[in-house]
Chains A and B, each alone.
Chain A
Amino acid sequence: MIRDRWRRLLSNVIMMLCGLSVLIALVPLALILFYVVSKGIGSLNFAFFTSMPKPVGEPGSGMANAIVGSFIVVGLGAAFAIPIGIICGVYAAEYAGTRIASGVRFAADTLNGVPSIVIGMFAYGIAVLPFRQFSAFAGGVALGTMMIPLIMRTTEELLLLVPSTLKEGALALGATRARAVFTVVLPAALPGIMTGILLALARIAGETAPLLFTSFNNRFFSTDIWQPISTLTVQVFFYAISPYEDWHRQAWAGALVLVGIVLLCSVAARLATARMERMHRGG
């Protein structure tokens, strides 16, 4: 009897600890969001988005160049990662049993686990060293390399979810395999793939480490992809480690913008997923 009571007590205590660990994990999340919002909101104004960085102490300083720069670098990365990622995903789903398919799956998982700073070095080796010049292009190469495995894996998974009868129908009507995939199967999976792309964008938009020595930084407004460019994340980093109160405030404001972008993307993705699930259940 005593043993039984002890067993039940132990069970309850451990289950309570499990609940406690959820709370422990939520505390830093709440703290981070609280500080980012409360410290960032004060420095976030119209000028932050429209004006250039100014020397310490001068009012009306902003990060216009960094915000534009972030869009350019992320856009470059997406421009080359999305097609490659989708095509690799198509191959892995269409020829699932082949050795190349397992190879590319393995490569994507490996790439996904490579630290972002190492990816930055790789991009430095292939896109900075040969030109002897930091550039937005090199930053795009780094971010794109990180994005490819994410997009490839979502594409593959979602293509496999499309009912095979759809493709078989197209093939029976005399379509070639390429036509069946690109005009029937891929469009059916497209909403899901867009969600995956959104999540991948959210993830690489917050990357800093691979940009430190690829797109580097630029104090001026630049849209030239062959020149160094300023990005939001790198700018936040340099402001954060600076000794100036004024720049710290700017860093918090930048962090708030970053968190806002990331939150927006993941909430949008979540809503899209929920809608798709409803559609699937309905149909």
Chain B
Amino acid sequence: MATRRPRARLDDLFFRVGTGAFAILLIAAVIGIGITLIQDSWLSISTFGWQFWQTDYWDPVAGKFGARPFIWGTLYSSFLALAISTPIALGIAIFISELSPAWLVRPMVFLTELLAAIPSIVYGLWGIFVLVPFVRYLETLVPQWAKAIPLFSGPPLGLGMLSAALILAIMVIPFSSSVAREVLRSVPQAQREGAYALGATRWEATRMALFYARTGIIGAVMLGFGRALGETMAVTMVIGNSPQISWSLFAPQYTMAAVIANEFAEAADELHLRALIEIGLVLFIITLIINVISRMLIWSMGRQRRPAPRRRSVLKEAAA
């Protein structure tokens, strides 16, 4: 006995250090992504400085690198996608968590998950051959007088901001709606019962639940925003890939992820490659910030509800 104890303690120490080393490796890997990107793009950062993000002219052959149109395209397409997807995603979350009969919940969750599981490249393929022609047709329906509005100016190409925003919206819906659904589920039932007892209609009770869950809902929407910012293939295939800053929904534009996907493998010039990595670095930083904030919001919702399920499980154990 006396000889066994220290041995066991030593084994436990090995176990802890051994598994801990992998955990630290993973933490180091995430930090490593940032460091690698900074290192690999340093040439571009030191050559162009802030100029890089303040000029609009992107011509790798002439050695001119201005990345502002890409930031614009990424932010504009993601905001448009959110504007389209948020009401729909919330509607789905409300339907599943508040309205739907119990037998319908599982199949519907499965279908929305399926929407999330379809590979980005398949969305892109469908986008090129089905969505873009449809959008082109829609664009030809816009009457001449409406063309004066900046939002609808330009020829009806199909390939452009509108197609990109639509496809992004479709791709973001399952993410936002599944998180929003979880958040709504964490609202205590008593909250709704109280509202009903006071004579509230279904919508009024739901609105109460939405208000209770507001931080989590904002987190869900932001999580979708982070997804939209980094989405690459589908957007690359339908946005038209033309670096310009325009409010027009019809204009072909470009995003940060798309320019990397298109030019990275063929970037022969050192500076061109480094400039693309700098774009990747900024994309990394933006999505990192968005994700951290949204996780904190969702997490703060989760903390409020923790005690409830635990109490229920204790009861169940006592009954068994």
Given A21-B92, A125-B40, A176-B15, do A259 and B284 touch, yes or no (CB 8 Å)?
Answer: no
Residues of chain A within 8 A of B257, CB atoms compared: 115, 117, 209
| B52-60, B118-126, B143-151, B302-310 - interface stretch | B118-126
Interface readout for A184-205 with B: 1 if CB under 8 Å, 0 if not? Answer: 0000000000000000001101
A15 engages B99 (CB within 8 Å): yes
A234-252 vs B, Cβ < 8 Å mask (1 yes, 0 no): 0011001100000010011
Q: A1: CB under 8 A from chain B?
A: no
In the assembled complex, the CB of B58 is this many whole angstroms from the nearest CB of chain A, namely 17
Interface 0/1 of A11-40, CB less than 8 Å to B? 110110111111011101101100110010
Contact check, B119 vs A207: say whether CB atoms are below 8 A apart. Answer: yes
Q: Does B115 contact A (CB under 8 A)?
A: yes
Say whether B287 contacts A113, CB under 8 Å: yes
> Are the CB atoms of A110 and B30 closer together than 8 Å?
yes
Segment at the A interface, from B185-193, B196-204, B212-220: B196-204
Beta-carbon contacts under 8 Å, A91-118 to B: 91-92, 94-95, 100-101, 103-104, 107-111, 113-118
A240 nearest CB neighbor, chain B only: B125
Q: Give the distance to chain A from B154, nearest Cβ to Cβ, in Å.
A: 22
Q: Which stretch in A43-51, A61-69, A218-226, A262-270 binds the other chain?
A: A262-270
- Does the CB pair A110–B291 fall under 8 Å? yes
Is the beta-carbon distance between B122 and A113 smaller than 8 angstroms?
no
* A208 B121 Cβ-Cβ under 8 A: yes
* B1-30 vs A, Cβ < 8 Å mask (1 yes, 0 no): 000100010011011101110111111011
CA distance A21 to B95 in the complex (A): 9
Contact of B121 among A11, A15, A233 (CB under 8 A): A233
Interface size on A, residues (CB 8 A): 88
**How many of chain B's residues have a CB under 8 angstroms from any CB in A?**
86
Query: 6 tightest A-B contacts by CB?
Result: A115-B230, A206-B119, A21-B91, A113-B291, A11-B201, A11-B203
B residues sitting closer than 8 Å to A (CB atoms) are 4, 8, 11-12, 14-16, 18-20, 22-27, 29-30, 32-33, 36-37, 39-40, 87-92, 94-96, 99, 108, 110-115, 117-126, 128-130, 170, 173-174, 177, 201-204, 206, 223, 226, 229-233, 237, 257, 260-261, 264-265, 277, 280, 283-284, 287-288, 290-292, 295
Known: A15-B203, A25-B112, A178-B14. 7 other contacts (CB 8 A): A14-B206, A87-B22, A100-B27, A103-B27, A104-B27, A115-B257, A174-B8
